Structure 1
Amino acid sequence: MLQDGKVYLGTSFLTNADGSETSQGEYLNLALANRHGLITGATGTGKTVSLQILTEGFSNAGVPVFCADVKGDLSGLAAAGEPKDFLAKRAEKIGFADKYVFEAMPTIFWDLFGEQGHPIRTTITDMGPLLLARLLGLNDTQEGVLNIAFKLADDEGLLLLDLKDLRALLVNMEERRKELSAAYGNISTASIGAIQRDLLVLEQQGAEQFFGETALNILDLMRTTRDGRGVVSVLAADKLMQSPRLYATFLLWLLSELFEELPEVGDRDRPRLVFFFDEAHLLFDDAPKILVEKVEQVVKLIRSKGVGVYFVTQNPLDVPDGVLSQLGNRVQHALRAFTPRDQKAVKVAADTFRPNPALDTRQVIMEMGVGEALVSTLMKKGVPSMVQQTLIRPPSSRLGPISSAERQAVINNSPVLGVYDTVVDRESAYEILKEQAAEKAKREAAQRAKEDKQREEQGRMKRGRTGFSLPDFGRDDRPTRQSRRRTTSRRSNRQSVAEAAMKSVARSVATSLGKALVRGILGSLKSGR
């Protein structure tokens, strides 16, 4: 039943022309496993079990695996399975009973929040402006300012390790806005404020634990055991799923890191690492075009690095056409066609398989039961096999999650215990800019003290020349031009009142003299008569 260089998926049954039934095993060729794959199906149809048996097959073949555990079920990979009637019946029906054993996979648990596994961290610099802008949900203008921040950090030798480094740099950019705008382009206060607010929201979601050191070494995801089995890295993502943008950005970052760090290896007899994207629709929902293009580019090129990428989602329409066309190995569980979109998904799924004359693929997709799937994998020269309706084999590890005590025991025996569990906070942008701000404040204080001393010296010189002291006005105590105008105005008002009084007296005297003269003249006239 088992074959070297292949992963056993299950058994398909063919009805012959005479009504008899024959069976054949369905396998995934390890040499072509880096041509990527897709696992789709409605909720409850068996996608998680398919992911589990693929992981077991890769691990037993010496291929390390990284997978995200969205519901907690994949933690069962770390424990041996338990005998159950329906598992035994399935194994017997597909002819797997004599090979069916229960065993645990070598497992390392990871958790971005450090609660259910070893923490995973990266630095702000390693994340880069493109993915960070996606994580923050920035518009084009704000993303431009963020790119300036990264460029400025490079030019001035500032390490951006965690969120406080980036916040400190943004504050520094605001203080130097006019100076930097001339060299790097417009830096608006509104954009800096928006980025700061988004960083605060991100911090409140717990993402500050993701940024910092010790940063993840990609090689720790590519470990093998002494007996040659590949280590399975399981990311606890149940809490992470509450922040879907952080989840998607983290997986994109990890994929990008693998692409950038791993050397070219060409075609191998098996992959160096297999990477499972569960809930893959979160990767592409509301993603800007440039980000989708980056995913397509990485998926196309990472094959030559010996990495296989497998997307797990409910609907094949969740994956863009440019990515979907790169996925050669397909496991399609049942779909329900209740809505026009569901019906379109059924058609898309059926049309992407190599037709099998013995199957009405579209009809079978809607009628399969739990644990059944349409399987098509790549054969020699990369040609896809005809689609077959397959009974998926039962897993050897435990179905369902393990207990908290069992998880902790696995963590305590982990080969990376103590490597990532302690936060390292070395000198970076925050400390450097804080020191620069303190030196600037010190220089300004010294300058003010010097100016005060100069004014005091000038005051002593004035007192020495006149023999009496003159008021020594500080900057804030000197009479302003407006107050001097008010003083002059008041003097002018007092002078005009005195002049008016003198003029009034003069008018009174003149009036009295005039009346006396008139009476004298009139009197002389009367006596003359």
Structure 2
Amino acid sequence: MKGYDFEGPALELGALLRDDGTADPSQRIRVPLAMMNRHGLVAGATGTGKTKTLQLMAEQLSEHGVPVFLADVKGDLSGMASPGASSDRVARRAAEVGQTWSPEACPVEFFSLGGLGAGIPLRATMSAFGPTLLARVLELNETQESSLGLIFYFADKNGLPLLDLKDLVAVIRYLTDTPEALTGIGGLSASTVGVILRALVNFQAQGAENFFGEPEFDVRDLLRTAPDGRGVVSILELPAVQDRPQLFSTFLMWLLADLFEVLPEVGDPDRPSLAFFFDEAHLLFDGASKAFLRSITQTVRLIRSKGVGVFFVTQTPKDVPADVLGQLGARVQHALRAFTPQDAKALKATVSTFPTSSYDLERLLTELGIGDAVVTVLSETGAPTPVAWTRLRAPRTLMAPSAPAAVDGLVAASPLRSKYGAAVDRQSAYEILSARLAPGGAPEPGRPAEPPAPERPEPSALEGVLASKEFRSFARSAASALGREITRSIFGTPRRRRR
């Protein structure tokens, strides 16, 4: 067995391990930089070194001038902003794999969802997020998702911008009070509307106002390089929303879908435009609808030609649907555990997904040490390399969280702070409909002026919507058939005008 040595630029993963478990530093395991937009998987049980592998790959991509996006679910990737700490363990690992180790920090930008954290606020408008992804967050079934799509469709066709949560509620209330507005395009059932509104009540209670609104994040700000030519590592800090896994995993999918929309086709570049890492990837797929899974599969398949490499980081390959797993070119598999019958079944399934090799993978994968992995990648010609038992290099950045003061200093000095720091609330569906329903308000185009509408509670009090006289009246009526064939784009998102 030999290492992977390629002519062009490559990421250095580590050294090949001999049969006796000692490393051979002359046999390097590398990944061609040009193949990093073929996507990949980093998998393994808790505590086997997945996060350090992610860190190792990210810092080398940055050194090659490739911007990187990382979702920091557990809060331990902020160390990439600080130089690593020397220790006997690091020195021993470096000597084993033939690595010349020296501490070095990466250029890092910190983000947070809607400002829930220390980073630059990351927001999306409700329209840009779209009904498919929102239905995923709200845990709606397919019928309810179709109804939500009808609401978005109506707002889009009638010039009602959906920027934040109160805009969506205002449109739902309008359609509740005026069901004839949907004549010719479908209808909404009372029970479905009730489910959607109750889900929005719960969503609001989780602080959803923080995530939706303006200024909307421009994903092209992830494609920056530092003055020294290194790629900027964008870290989305997520510990503040760990109890809302579907929210942050779906928000990451929105970022990826938006990248697909705005980036030009580049074919096969010599290096990626961006490397995008999904940590805790199983959260993205758990309980996902068929439509959502189709959207993910299509995006992963097509975004390669936009120069974006997507890497899923999770415990077992079974966490990733087969159609998505089939799109991945690089595999770094850390140790797996087989303490239960379910574990043993997952182990056999993992082994079956690897190319044929001389290793007894079912045994080897349960005996791997921390920081060791079974690796297969794509060569420069796109052919899978042989499976290699590998001892991975040590990251050069800090393998622990950075000091809070260091993170705060980077956020305060960020050039993006003035662009995204303060929330903006411009005229949108809520204001337009409020004016339309107010006494003397302008009538809807094509309709006669209506009598003054009764005073209504603020839409932020969503419980009031459910208890209102208008909603109860609507709930007693039968609605027309559901419109199910509304298509918007890959994720139910209308094309947006970029400012």
Short-chain TM bin:
0.7 to 0.9
Would the alpha carbon gap of residues 94 and 198 (structure 1) be closer, same or farther in structure 2, given more than 3 Å must change?
same
Q: Which residue does the alignment assign to 1:117?
A: 119
Please report how far the alpha carbon of residue 391 of structure 1 lies from its aligned counterpart in structure 2 after TM superposition. 0.9
How far the C-alpha of 1:45 sits from its partner, in A, is 0.5
Q: CA deviation at 1:226?
A: 1.5
1:419 alignment counterpart: 419
What residue number does 2:86 align with?
83
- Alpha-carbon distance in structure 1 between the residues aligned to 2:451 and 2:36: 67
Q: Which amino acid aligns with 1:36?
A: H
After superposition, where does 1:463-474 map in structure 2 within 5 Å?
none
Is it true that 1:9 corresponds to 2:37 in the alignment? no
Q: Please show how residues 64-75 of structure 1 align to structure 2 within 5 Å.
A: 64-75=67-78
Counting only pairs closer than 5 Å after superposition, residues 83-482 of structure 1 correspond to structure 2 as 83-96=86-99, 99-114=100-115, 115-177=117-179, 179-357=180-358, 359-439=359-439
Of the three residues 48, 52, 75, the one matched with 1:49 is 52
Indicate if the aligned counterparts of 1:353 and 1:386 stay in contact, CA closer than 8 A: no
Indicate the SS of the match to 2:234.
strand
Provide the rounded CA distance (Å) in 2 between the counterparts of 1:209 and 1:350: 43
Q: Is the 8 A contact 1:2 1:8 kept in 2?
A: no
Which letter does structure 2 place at the counterpart of 1:214? P
Matches within 5 A, 1:24-43: 24-43=27-46
Letter in structure 1 aligned against 2:47: G
Q: Decide which moves more: 1-10 or 374-383.
A: 1-10
CA contact (8 A) 2:437 2:452 kept: no
Residue 196 of structure 2: SS of its match in structure 1?
A: helix
Q: What is the SS of the residue equivalent to 1:242?
A: coil
Alignment size in residue pairs: 441
C-alpha displacement of 1:361: 1.9
Deviation, 1:143, is: 2.3
User: Which amino acid letter does the alignment assign opposite residue 55 of structure 1?
Assistant: A
The 1:195/1:389 distance shift into structure 2, 3 A limit, reads same
* SS in structure 1 of the partner of residue 41 of structure 2: strand
Residue 27 to residue 60, structure 1, CA distance change in 2 (3 Å): same
1:338 Cα offset (Å): 1.4
CA distance in 1, matches of 2:277, 2:226: 20
The one-character-per-residue Cα deviations of 1:234-257 (angstroms, maximum 9, x if unpaired) are: 011112221011012101111111
Higher RCO (Cα < 8 Å, 6 or more apart): 2
Q: Which range moves more in the overlay, 30-39 or 347-356? A: 347-356
Measure, in 1, the Cα distance between the counterparts of 2:133 and 2:407. Answer: 31
Cα shift readout 1:465-502 (whole Å, capped 9, x = no counterpart) = xxxxxxxxxxxxxxxxxxxxxxxxxxxxxxxxxxxxxx
Check conservation: 2:25, 2:98, Cα contact below 8 A: no
Distance 1:307 1:446, change over 3 A: closer
| Deviations, residues 64-92 of structure 1 (Å, cap 9, x unaligned) | 00011111110000000111110011101
Q: In structure 2, do the counterparts of structure 1 residues 444 and 30 end up closer, same or farther at CA, with 3 Å as the change threshold?
A: closer
User: CA 1:186 to 1:361, structure 2 compared with 1: closer, same or farther past 3 Å?
Assistant: same
Structure 2 unaligned regions, length at least 5: 443-448, 454-499
Distance 2:436 2:55 in 1: 53
* Shift of residue 221, structure 1, vs aligned partner: 0.6
Are the counterparts in 2 of residues 13 and 23 from structure 1 also a CA contact under 8 Å? no
Answer yes or no: is the 8 Å Cα contact 2:127–2:161 preserved in 1: yes
Identify the residue that residue 482 of structure 1 maps to in structure 2. none
TM-score by length of 1: 0.80
| Distance in structure 1 (CA, Å) of the matches to 2:344 and 2:389 | 20
Secondary structure in 1 matching 2:438: helix
Contact 1:15 1:21 in 2 (8 A): no
Contact 2:440/2:452 (8 A) holds in 1: no
Would the aligned equivalents of 2:107 and 2:231 in 1 still touch at CA under 8 Å? Answer: yes
Deviations 1:60-117 (A, max 9, x none): 0000000111111100000001111100111011111xx2110100000010041220
Q: Shift of residue 230 of structure 1? A: 0.4
| Counterpart code for 2:108 | T
Question: In 2, distance between residues paired with 1:249 and 1:446?
Answer: 40
Output the CA distance in 2 between the equivalents of 1:376 and 1:276.
Answer: 18
CA distance in 2, matches of 1:227, 1:318: 38
More helix by share: 1
Q: Distance in 2 between matches of 1:20 and 1:63?
A: 29
Is the partner of 2:419 in helix, strand or coil?
A: coil
Unmatched runs of 5 consecutive residues or more in structure 1: 448-529
CA RMSD of aligned residues (A): 2.1
Which is worse superposed, 130-139 or 258-267?
130-139
Normalising by structure 2, we get a TM-score of 0.85
Shift of the 194–440 alpha-carbon distance from structure 1 to 2, 3 Å rule, reads: farther
Q: Which has the larger radius of gyration?
A: 1
Percent of residue pairs identical: 48
Does the CA-based 8 Å contact 1:223-1:230 persist in structure 2? Answer: yes
8 Å CA contact retained: 1:379, 1:385: yes
